[in-house]
């Protein structure tokens, strides 16, 4: 019982410390359709990354290549014109680099077929996602 109470109190301190931090990320003001497009792309990348991790756990390099290819530059070219000029150049560079990473992961999964190599590539690419999420927040402009 004391342990449960301690954990609840500790959790309360942790959440209040987080709540007091000010979000200093750059605000990207987008229209609702633009915001939904960017968030859908991010969810697709996250879901695809999970599929790649699942394939890597099964040592299924063909599935790794297939899933990674779906997240590559082909996906990036599906961006609609309504995003052009709405997002900062650095944001776009990070996004394009992630799509290029997935193309390379796909190519190497087919040719090298090394799970550790693919995991390393995926980790490096995910660091770009972390950097982007640490830098930007998306808000709807009215």
Question: For the domain that residue 77 is a member of, what is the CATH number?
Answer: 1.20.120
Q: Which string of b and e fits 29-41 if b means at least 16 CB within 10 Å?
A: ebeeebbebbeeb
**What range does the domain containing 30 cover?**
25-140
How confident is the model over 51-75, as pLDDT tens digits? 999 999 999 999 999 999 999 999 9
| Tens digits of residue pLDDT in 70-128 | 999 999 887 666 787 899 999 999 999 999 999 999 999 999 999 999 999 999 999 99
Considering its fold, how many domains does the chain have in total?
A: 1
pLDDT (tens digit, 9 = 90+) per residue, 15-38?
555 556 899 999 999 999 999 999
CA-nearest of 135, 129, 136 to 47 is 129
Is 9 a member of any domain? no
Q: Is residue 15 domain-resident?
A: no
If you ran DSSP here, which 8-state letter would residue 72 be given? S
């Amino acid at each position: 019982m004391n342990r449960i109470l301690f954990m609840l109190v500790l959790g309360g301190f942790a959440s209040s410390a987080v709540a007091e931090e000010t979000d200093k990320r750059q605000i990207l003001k987008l229209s609702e359709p633009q915001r939904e497009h960017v968030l859908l792309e991010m969810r697709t990348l996250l879901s695809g990354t999970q599929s790649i991790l699942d394939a890597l756990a099964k040592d299924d390099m063909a599935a790794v290549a297939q899933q990674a290819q779906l997240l590559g530059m082909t996906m990036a070219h599906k961006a609609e014109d309504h995003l052009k000029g709405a997002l900062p150049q650095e944001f776009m560079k990070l996004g394009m680099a992630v799509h290029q990473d997935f193309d390379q992961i796909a190519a190497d999964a087919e040719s090298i077929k090394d799970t550790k190599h693919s995991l390393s590539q995926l980790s490096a690419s995910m660091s770009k996602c972390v950097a982007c999420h640490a830098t930007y927040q998306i808000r709807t402009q009215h």
